[in-house]
Structures are given as structure tokens and as C-alpha cells.
Amino acid sequence: MLARRIIPCLDVKDGRVVKGVSFVDLVDAGDPVQIAAAYDEAGADEVTFLDIAASHEGRDTILDVVRHTAEQVFIPLTVGGGVREVADIRRLLQAGADKVGINTAAVENPEFVREASRAFGSQCIVVAVDAKRRNPENPADGWEVYTHGGRKARGIDAIEWVQRMEAMGAGEILLTSMDQDGQKTGYDNALNRAASNVLSIPLIASGGVGELSHLYDGLVDGAADAVLAASIFHFGTFTIAETKEYLAGRGVRVRT
């Protein structure tokens, strides 16, 4: 049977990993290529790059990073950030990305997702959704979609949105809780479960991991198919091997 996936995520700015990593001895702890290779070696199931470059020059840099990564890493590589048109997707896939994440551009033009999945196949189109509770105390009030790194409310219901994105041809949904992101107190699993229940494509949970139990909760309570995390892996709080051993010990099927 299918394993649940553990996905480390790297924020890349102008070809460098923001804040670097300290989980392993690297010649250059800010080099995304070396870090991705180290995660592959450590047993990660996929690697995700989030390109947070602010300029066009920075966008070209990510293509080089992807090219070099693809020579060394033979697990799936997803790249998101700044993907606005079909040509952006083509460039990333040709550089060696396996999947491309689309966020703001999907909200601004949902047809883009249909166009992208028709052109390249659903399997490489990941729609990234940033969602925030309407009422922090009560998940029953639902979640709203945000863009621009969580600064701009879009007046769209997140659960309806993920369904719509599936209908448009998304192959996966990467769902980040803006309430939990950076808090280290766990995913918003009410959000994850509500989304997972309406989707027939895989859900990747994101935002809020501080402990291994949070990954377990995301997969079990949140019914996510995969879990994405950054800081707990980058700063060596836990290794991928420890993570998998922990999850397997609690009965979660993981690739070992």
C-alpha cells in the first residue's frame, strides 16, 4: 500500500536557502542543491523549493538551481513561487522540476490551472492554497483564501476553492494554514480534514509543525496524504529517519 510522504520544504531566495540549514555538515549550508541532495540521502520522499525571489533576475537563478538539483536528486522535486504563465511552467519542467506549484495566479485566473493541466498533465500541477480561519476560535465558521504571502484576503471559501481547483485539473493541493504557519503548535487539522474530505486528489498539509506528533496528527486527524515541514528538519530538531521511525512506530505507513 501507498506510503504517506514526508516532504521538506526549502525557501529559496536568489539561489540561496533562506537562513540555511544545520541538520548535516555541508560545505555550503545555504546551497539549495547540496541541501536537496542531503535530504534525498536522508530518506525524504520528495523535496519542495519555494522561490521567494522578488526580481526577474532571481527567477532565472531558480532555473539553474533546479537544473543542478535534477542532476543529483532522483526523487520528485516540486518548485513553487512566482509561477504566473504557461511559459514559467514549461521552463521549470524543462529545467528538471517534476511538479510546479501555483498559488496567486490560480486565484487571479482559475482558468490558468485548467490550461496548465491540459498542457502538461495534472500530475505536475500542484495548487498551493493559503487559508485562514474566519474565526480563530471556531473552525465551523470556515476558512478564507489569502494570497501575497497571507497579506491579501480574497473573499473565497477555502474548502470550495480546493474542490474547484481539483475540477480545474490540479493534481495535488498544498494547503497552508496562515493561522498556524510559524507557530510550531501543529497543523490546523480541522482545515486539513475538511479539505481532504472533499478532495479525491492528494492533500499535502503545511504550516505549524514543531514536534513529530504534529506530523502524525496531520496524517491521522487531518487525513493528509503527505506532510510538508521546514524548520524542524532544517535545524536538525529531527532527522527524516527519526521522523519515519516515529511515524512507523505509531502505525503510519512510511517508506523506509
Partner 1 sequence: MTPPRIAIIDYGRGNLRSVQKGFGKVGYEARVTRDPDVIADATHVVLPGVGAFADCMANLEDFGLIGPIHSTVESGKPFLGICVGMQLLFTEGEEFGTHKGLDILPGRVVAFPQGMTVGEGEHVERLKVPHMGWNRLHVTRQSPLFRDIHEGEWCYFVHSYHAVPEDLSVVAATSQYGVLFTASVWNDNVVATQFHPEKSDKAGLSMLKAFAEWQC
Q: Which residues bind partner 1 (CB under 8 A)?
A: 1-5, 40, 45, 70-72, 74-76, 93-94, 96, 98, 120-124, 171-172, 199-202, 225-226, 255-256
Conformation bin of residue 128: beta by default, left when phi > 0, alpha when psi is -120 to 50: beta
Instruction: Give rounded-to-5 percent helix, strand, coil for the chain.
Output: 40, 25, 35
Rg, C-alpha atoms of the chain: 17
Nearest approach, Cβ of 96 to partner 1 (angstroms)?
Answer: 5
C-alpha 101/C-alpha 84 separation (Å) is: 10
Q: What are phi and psi of 110, to 5 degrees?
A: -55, -30
User: What does the chain come to in residues?
Assistant: 256
**DSSP 8-state assignment for residue 100:** E
Nearest approach, Cβ of 55 to partner 1 (angstroms)?
Answer: 26
- Tell me whether residue 11 is one of the annotated catalytic residues: yes
Options 51, 88, 130, 217, the catalytic residue: 130
Q: Indicate the residue among 6 and 212 with the shorter CB distance to partner 1.
A: 6
Q: Indicate the residue among 142 and 202 with the shorter CB distance to partner 1.
A: 202
Options 11, 14, 157, 221, the catalytic residue: 11
Nearest approach, Cβ of 74 to partner 1 (angstroms)?
Answer: 6
Query: Would you please indicate which residues are annotated as catalytic (active-site) residues?
Result: 11, 130
